[in-house]
Every structure is written in structure tokens, then in C-alpha cells.
Amino acid sequence: MADFAKFGNDLYTGKRSIPVVPRRKIWYILSITLAVISLIGLGVRGLSPSIEFRGGSEFMVLGTVNPEESIASDTVREQGGTEPPRVSIVGEDSVRIQTERLSNEETLQIRHALADAYEVDINAVTSSYVGPTWGADVTGKAIKALVIFLGLVALIMTLYFRTWTMAVAGLVALLQDLVLTAGVYALVGFEVSPATVIGFLTILGYSLYDTVVVFDKVRENATGFLQQSTQTYGELANLAVNQTVVRSINTAVVALLPIGSILFIGSFVLGAGTLRDISLALFVGTILGTFSSVFIATPIEVDLHNRKPATRAHTQRLDDLRASGTDTEQVVLVEGADGDLDTASLVVPGAHRGAASQPRRKRNKSKKRRK
């Protein structure tokens, strides 16, 4: 644990560096590959909407001693159902059966058939009906909520960071989280219910929070970067990612522990559909949100920022200085003998960007920074 803390401290001070931004093509390829797999899953298998979205009839058999899915499937088919029912076990002694829209006579007939098949009283078999109009209304509101959410995200990030590049990069990361999470639902076959939509919005909020923290550090490091000749915008952004990556990992691990417990209990112990639907979205989204905020959002923002003429000219000027062999200085933090952090200059050889450097001198102790 102490080694991990020291590793995080080295990343923060710049003594070590993970080349997230310099190797952004690797993360782009990985992200595109996962997105293609998700889109294939969505196209081939598609999402499995719950009864709240597609409408239909639902039966619950309570207190049976033999909760087998095959019994419900065979019983519904014997009653003349045109579509195969969706059957799931709830808890230890209950069965949920979802069918297409049925008339009152058909509903009563299937209730009696299920009671006989599972050897329970007719009152232990409940039925409910969700109309297609209500399901379409839920779908429309879910899409509307997502569009409003993304629109507000773009507006607030643009106003807060005073640049459109971070807003666009943040939206791309959020859309990736949404596509990949939906792809996981398509591949594993979990139903998409209103609880799932709530989970989607929750993980988008988590991912946005993590992205804003990284972007805030990028803005702090890059303030006035055009007036210095030590680091490019991409190098300053990469330092910001390294300074926040350990925090992102720790936050994700702490969040995943209770979510994983809910997912396991909801899926394998209680068989509760609501817990399973929302916990899977939260579990997958938390992992993807951490990945996108660190490895996708910042590299995309750097690429967009590098398109600005001033940033491009600054990068070219540093490239020319380094190519000519002119040494530049990079100010970093180092740990002093008393355990405090002091500033130091690293000599960066002009011909080798990112080459190993050695501290040239320690600066005035008055510039000491707290941990």
C-alpha cells in the first residue's frame, strides 16, 4: 500500500509519468474496437426492453415449491400464445412471466393454467397489464431526459471551462460510456427497464464528475502555457492526467465494491429484476466512466486544442527549439530532505522530448508546496 502511495506521489510530482496523451492512438483504437463490438451486439441481438417499454401482460406465481421456468413456458404455449413468454425466477419460490397483450378471458385462462401447473391457489397467481401507449410514453421521456442531460452538460462545461474543446471531449466520452454500456446489456441479455435508464443517467453523471476533475487539473496546469517555453499543451495535459489517475482509480474501486455486492445479491440471491437492472448499469458504467475520463476525454481534448493556431504555433516553436539542440527547463516537484515538496528544474534535452532528465538545482525554499 505504501508503494502504491509513493507511486501516486511520483506521478503527481512528475518524477514518473504514464504516457496517456502521447500514446492516445492506442486508447482510440481500443475504444473504437469496443464500440464496434457493442454496435454489433446491438445490431445482432438488440436490446431486450422490459414490459414497461413494450407493453404486455405480466403474471407472478407466488409461493410455489417448484419454481421452474420451463413449466411457465410450456403452460403459456399450451394456451395458444403466439410469442414465447419471458420467464424469470424471483427469489426462491416465485416466478415472473411476461407475455404479449392478452384479453381479459385469455388472462384469466392463463392464471388458472399457471395455478394448476405450479400447484398453488389461484389467488397466488397475480396478473397486470401495461398498455403500449404507456410504454411508448416512458420511452419518449427516457430519450428526452438523455438529450436534455447531454445538452446541459455541453452548456455548463463550455461556460465553466470557457472553451468548447473540453465540452466536446466530455460529450464524446459520455457517448462512449452510453454505447458500451448498452452493448453490454445487448450481449448479456439483461432487460432494459426504467431502472436501467436511471442507472444510465447515474453513470453518465459519475463519468462527467471524473472528467471535470481531470479537466480542472488540465486547466490549472495549462494556464498561461503560451508564455513559457518548457512544455507543450499536450505534455501539461498528460501531467494533469497523471496527477489525478490514482484518485480516479481509488474512487472507482470504492464505488465498485457496494455496486458489485448489489449486483451479486440482486442477480443470484434475490433474483430481483430492479436491483439487477440498475446495478449492472452502475457496475459497467463506473468502469467505463473511469476509463473514458482518463484515457479518452483528455486525449481528445488535447487533439482539439492542438488545432487552435496559437497552440499549434507554440508546439511548433518548442519542436524547433528541441530539434536545434537547445535545452529547456521543466519545473517539477521533488521531495526534500524534510519530507516537504520543493520545486526543481529538470533539464529537458532539445533533441529528445520526454527523455530522462535530472534535477539541475533546487529553488528557493519559499516556494515550498504542501502535499
Going by pLDDT thresholds of 50, 70 and 90, the confidence category of residue 25 is very high
Going by pLDDT thresholds of 50, 70 and 90, the confidence category of residue 266 is low
Q: What is the CATH number of domain 2-49+134-312?
A: 1.20.1640.10
Q: Give the SS3 label for residue 363.
A: coil
DSSP class per residue in 347-358: EE-TTSTT----
- CATH: 3.40.50.720, 3.30.70.3400, 3.10.129.10, 2.30.38.10. Which one for 56-130? 3.30.70.3400
Listed by start position, the domains of the chain span: 2-49+134-312, 56-130, 326-366
What rounded mean pLDDT belongs to the chain? 79
Verdict on whether the full-model pTM lies above 0.85: no
Q: Which residues pair with 60 in a beta bridge?
A: 96, 126
Pairing of strands 94-99, 56-61: antiparallel
Crossing angle (nearest 10°) for helices 24-44 and 298-305: 120
Q: H/E element holding 86?
A: strand 86-90
pLDDT(366) > 60: no
Q: Enumerate residues 6+ apart whose C-beta is below 8 A from 312.
A: 306
Q: Write the burial class of residue 342 (CB in 10 Å: 0-12 exposed, 13-18 middle, 19+ buried).
A: buried
pLDDT(329) > 80: no
d(CA 286, CA 251): 10
Q: Give the SS3 label for residue 46.
A: coil
Q: Dump pLDDT digits (tens) for 75-111.
A: 888 877 667 788 877 767 788 888 887 878 888 888 8
| 82 vs 155: which has the higher pLDDT | 155
- pLDDT of 345 reads 45
Sheet holding 56-61, edge to edge: 86-90, 94-99, 56-61, 125-130
d(CA 297, CA 166): 8
Sheet holding 359-362, edge to edge: 328-335, 341-348, 359-362
Q: Which residues pair with 285 in a beta bridge?
A: none
pLDDT(11) > 50: yes
Task: Retrieve residue 147's grid coordinates.
Answer: 438529450
Going by pLDDT thresholds of 50, 70 and 90, the confidence category of residue 334 is very low
d(CA 115, CA 121): 6
Q: Write the burial class of residue 174 (CB in 10 Å: 0-12 exposed, 13-18 middle, 19+ buried).
A: buried
Q: H/E element holding 127?
A: strand 125-130
- pLDDT of 31 reads 93
